[in-house]
Structure 1
Amino acid sequence: MSDGALIDRFLEMMAAERGASRNTLAAYRRDLDQAAEWITGGLADADVAALRKLMADYQSLAASSAARKLSALRQFFAFLLDEGERADNPALDIARPATQRPLPRILTHEDVERLFAQAVEEAAGEVPPAAAVRMLLLLELLYGSGLRASELVSLPRRAMAGGREFLIVRGKGDKERLVPLSGRARDVLDRWTPLLADGSPWLFPSGKAHISRVRLFQMLRGLAGRAGIDPAAISPHVLRHAFATHLLEGGADLRALQLMLGHADIATTEIYTHVDSRRLVELVNKRHPLAHMDAGRTAPDVDVATPSA
């Protein structure tokens, strides 16, 4: 069977059995098609030496990109092994390129307050501009609910759950989750809803569709500039990071945060546990049982029984 046919079968399995998203499937196809083109004699029959030569050709790539390509190869050969098309998985003998996941950029609480102060001021008054009310609601949902930019701009009107205490969000892998909707966001939503055009299925319409991620990015940076914050330090994803980091600083549970962010693997959520040493010291000083004990108090006398012979 040709490499192309085997790659098609592999991708069908990834979609049907593992629920891989379209973006993931497209990335796997690009990586595997490229490998099949570069390897002499075909990808499906490649040995360890051929794969090592291929990975050597990837040395000019970022370590994360090379690691992704190796992951695609490992999963592809694992599929061939399961299907009886091969007796081994040669990709397992290839060392994974060392990667270091960068910590997310963080906004301070002061920066967030300045951003909101500017948005609230622009949306104030008896008849505020619709664009200003929309910007305030977008900001409330980015920082108050931790939505991804793509999730936010594509919110349909029907995303509001019963009682409007939650949003129904469709995230990566086309999976739905419930995200808490703050009281502040509900108040701004009440101001925004009457301004929406009749018949639009989107919460943030633009023309015949919804606003784009690029437009959201531009609007947010414009707001940051007017608030006296470096626009280069602001993006929708930075606000999502701030949502997660500030929740953890406030004592949020990591598992709950994982659910709110829509992470499939809690290891992805754990990146937000990068708290500074000052806060760790403060946490021990305030929360550890020793912090509530009198340092000058002697330990109570304890009767020690003499063991019997």
Structure 2
Amino acid sequence: MTTASSSAALQIAITTGEPAGVGPELTAQALAAAGAHWPDARFTVLGDAALLADRAQAVGVDWHALQGRRITVEHHPLGVPSQPGKLDAANGRYVLALLDAAIDGALAGRFDAIVTAPLQKSMINDAGVPFTGHTEYLAGRTHTPHVVMMLAGTGQRPLRVALATTHLPLKDVAAALSVAGIVDTLRIIDHDLRRHFGLPAPRILVTGLNPHAGENGYLGREEIDVIAPALKQANAQGIDARGPYPADTLFQPRYLTEADCVLAMFHDQGLPVLKYATFGEGINVTLGLPIIRTSVDHGTALDLAGTGRADAGSLVAAIDAAVSMARHRRAA
């Protein structure tokens, strides 16, 4: 990947996601509301130019006036015309084309980071392309064997929750956990918190898998056989990872004040807590990639598309994080 000049403006790509969802209008609202908030950044918005102008107008944003020296549109035509809230699988490949263009641009050094608006997984699958999610697709397209999904809240003491497994049925989680896998996950978290978030010595708290962290094997042995040995190996590599802790008591201020990130064992163990605390202002970050990628913490919100009632706060936070991460990477 080509490295951009340290004196050049940061180049941020924004993919506008599912055209029937809130992504296009939130992009316009976020960039309009931010104004000069990111003076060292330039934005390339990927999407159908007419669609973007139409959705911006629907929520009171003068899209043409917004464009200029800092904001440009990279036009990708829709498969078929799109209406707010009405899904059409004929646009599934359009959504992937936006993502592919952003990934290719980032890998080539054209973009310092990419920010992704939400997409509808079912539409991509219905278009004939097997698709599990942004995280897995980014890993495949960048030939990255192991990536980590991390969601983060914003504020003075941001809550960060990473996942040892991502989009798996609950019945498959235990079998997917391994000592080597958890060690690699902790290594990625430690590395990227240092490189992209400017944390010199990240502190990671790790949950158990079972209720009460297995209760000494009575409620399961994954803590004894997998998680604790992984923590021992990670500690030997200089990673400050502690646990395993019962997930039902770990998410308290007295513990979280000592943590830069919590590693949860599965999707619905850690993310409901984070989303309850930060929904609408949280972000999704994919760690371990050769490129920087952030996203919103919500879905396509088809019921809100085109109404002007969707909140752009999460997308603003995702853009803010992408710019900040790109600054840290460039300074490293």
Shared topology, TM-score over 0.5?
A: no
TM bin, normalised by shorter chain, reads under 0.3
Q: Which has the higher helix share?
A: 1
Q: Which has the higher strand share?
A: 2
The two structures have a TM-score, normalised by structure 1, of: 0.27
The two structures have a TM-score, normalised by structure 2, of: 0.25
Q: Which has the higher contact order (CA 8 A, sep 6+)?
A: 2
Larger radius of gyration: 1
